Structure 1
């Protein structure tokens, strides 16, 4: 795909290892505490993982670097799969039906219809807009 910008050279910056550790600690804390809503006990395995992530994030966050890179790679793969799917669903689920309805109703909202007898396709504006002098030094 050709674009006016080269995105392959741009590297997405991930979160810091410490932030990664704290986020996963919160996720496992929620998993550990979830059964409390039903009157059950805490999930000890999730609480243990939560404590481990918190301890490592505070004391030696560089140990989380491989997991952080793996998580970012997983997110990149998910992005490459879901982004085209979501955009395709939006296009074929929203834009295409709207275009078909407009064609059935014979609406030409952008004035794209061909008019062979017209002198010009120029659209006169009233009022005509700002004076040309204001366009010389815009900034």
Structure 2
């Protein structure tokens, strides 16, 4: 399964990402050794794949292939019998299922959770396993 994931980076890391992913920046061929202070203000036109937050961090949205062993930032798990939910941070689906077994409960669905707390997409169900 592939999911969209936001990866944050510093200005210098963003420059290196641009060098690796964009051939020409403002008509100038850029090499990794050409980083100078103020590069983004002077020569860089923002690539649509690269975003910028108000607090000065850069990010890219990338498609990431996940498995049941892939660690996720936030998971919301729906219990099979009670429909209660459990939330986990920085765990894989496999680890969340293992942790639930200690409480003698099972999950029927697992969703990704957005940073604002809202529920995102369904990534696992008891009937189908990892959703394609």
Fold agreement, TM-score > 0.5: no
Greater percentage in helix = 1
Greater percentage in strand = 2
TM-score normalised to the size of structure 1? 0.26
The structure having more radius of gyration, on CA atoms, is 1
TM-score normalised to the size of structure 2? 0.27
